[in-house]
Structure 1
Amino acid sequence: MTHTDLTDTEIIKRILQGEQVLFAQLVQRYQQYVFTLVLRFTGNREDAEEVSQDVFVKAYRSLADFRGEAKFSTWLYTVVRTSCITFLRKKKLTIASMDNERTLAQLENRESGFNANIIEQKSRHAMVNAAIRLLSPDDGQLITLFYKGEQTLEEIGRIMGLDPNTVKVKLHRARHRLKEKMEKYFSYELEH
C-alpha cells in the first residue's frame, strides 16, 4: 500500500505515531480545498496564500484533537474558519459577526471590484467563482462546501449548525440563485 492509498484517518494515525513526513500527503490532498475556502473569506490571493499556510500549521499542531467523528475535511473546515476570523481581526477589520451578510459581502468585494476580475478571467471556473462571490455568504458557503469541499448534507449541517433537511432546501435555493447570477452577469460568456 502506497502513501497515496491510505485514508485520511490512517495517515493521521501514522503521523501521531511519529511519521510526521506523511503530513505532506494531507497538505497535498487538501491544499486546493483550503485555499478555495480561505479565498472566499479573505477576498484576495495574497492573503489567502498566507492564511492557507497558517491553516496547515495549526492543523498539524492540533492533529491530536481530530477524533475521526466526522471527515477530516469537516474538521479542517473549522480550522479554516477560525484562522480566517483571527486573520481578519488582526487586519483590524470591524467584524461584528462572520455570519453578518453585509460584512462578509464587503470583505469579499473590498479588494477589487469583481467587474475588473470578470474582464481578466474568462474561464468557466472563474465565472462560477465570481458568481458565487455575488451570492449571500450562506449561499456561497453552501455551494462551496457541497461542490468544492464535497461535504455531505449531514457534514454541512454540522458545520453550519443546521438540520440536514434544511441544508438540502437551502442548497436547492442557493443553486437556483447561482444560476440566476450566472445568467444575469455572464450571459454573453455562457453563449460564446
Structure 2
Amino acid sequence: MTLRSDKELVAAALEQDLGAFDELMQRYERLVYKVAFNFVHDSETAFDVSQTVFLKAFQRLAQFRHEAQVKTWLMRITHNESIDCLRHHRARGADLDPLEEASPHLAMEAAQERDLLQRDDRAQLSRALARLNERHRLAVILRYFQGLGIQEVALILGCSEGVTKNMLFRSVRTLREALSGSL
C-alpha cells in the first residue's frame, strides 16, 4: 500500500471518502496537538482545540485551494483556534496560567534545544516562551520546536519571510536574555 499525498487525500475526502480525511487527521494530529498545547499549556484544552481544528478543517475542506500545504493550512487553523481559546478563557476570568500547569512537553530534539538556547531547563524555557507575544511564540514554536521552514512559518503567520526572520531573531534574543537572567 502506497501512501497517498496530502493533495490526493484532500481530493478523496471531497469525494466523500471519510477514510481519506481520517488519514489526514492521523498524519497531523500530533503536530496540531503539540502546537495547541504550547499555546494553552493544558492537555485537555489542547485536545479540545485539536478536535475543533479538525472539525473546522473538515467543514472547510472545499475551500482549501492548495496554494499552501495542508500542514500549513492546519497550523493556521490551530493558531487561530488556540488564540480564540485563550481569549475565551480570559474573558471568563479563567486565565490559563502556564506556570501553574504541568510543564509542557516540548517536542524539540536535544540537538535543536542546545542550538536554540544551550539550556535544558524546560520549565525556564516554558516561562520565557509564555512572556513572548502570541505571534512571536507561534513563530518560535513552529520554526524551532516543529521544524517548519521560514516560508511555511511566514505563510501561517500571514507575513513576509523577512518579517518572519526578524520576528524569530528578536524572539530568540528575548528568550536568551530571559534565560540568562534567570540562571
Q: TM-score when scaled to structure 2?
A: 0.73
Shift of the alpha carbon at 1:81?
3.0
More helix per residue: 1 or 2?
A: 1
Structure 1, unaligned runs of 5 or more: 96-105, 188-192
Q: Indicate which of 18, 21, 36 corresponds to 2:19.
A: 21
RMSD (CA atoms) = 3.2
Report if aligned partners of 2:125, 2:179 keep a CA contact under 8 Å in 1.
Answer: no
Partner SS state of residue 91, structure 2:
coil
2:103–2:123 CA contact under 8 A, matched in 1:
no
Structure 2 CA distance for aligned equivalents of residues 167 and 151 of structure 1? 12
What does the per-residue CA deviation read over 1:19-68, in whole Å, with 9 as the maximum and x for residues that have no partner?
21122222222112211222233232111111111211211121111111
Mapping of residues 91-102 of structure 1, within 5 Å: 91=89, 93=91
Q: Find the counterpart in structure 1 of residue 75 from structure 2.
A: 77
Distance 1:84 1:75 in 2: 14
Q: Which residue of 1 aligns with 2:169?
A: 172
In structure 2, relative to structure 1, the CA distance for the partners of 1:141 and 1:84 (3 Å cut) is: closer
Structure with bigger RCO (C-alpha 8 Å, 6+ apart): 2
> Percent same amino acid among aligned pairs?
27
Contact 1:74 1:151 in 2 (8 A): no
- The one-character-per-residue Cα deviations of 1:135-169 (angstroms, maximum 9, x if unpaired) are 33333111112123433323322332322112112
Match of 1:113 in 2: 100
CA distance in 2 between counterparts of 1:85 and 1:117 reads 20
Q: Which runs of 5+ in 2 are unaligned?
A: 105-109, 111-119
Query: One-letter code of the match for 2:100?
Result: G
Deviation at 1:89, TM superposition (A): 4.9
Residue of structure 1 equivalent to 2:7:
9
Distance 2:85 2:181 in 1: 33
- State the Cα deviation string for residues 72-114 of structure 1 (Å, max 9, x = none): 122112322333344345446279xxxxxxxxxx955x25437
1:161 and 2:148 are equivalent in the alignment: no
2: distance between equivalents of 1:10 and 1:79? 20
Alpha-carbon distance in structure 1 between the residues aligned to 2:90 and 2:81: 14
TM-score, structure 1 length as denominator? 0.70
Number of corresponding residues: 168
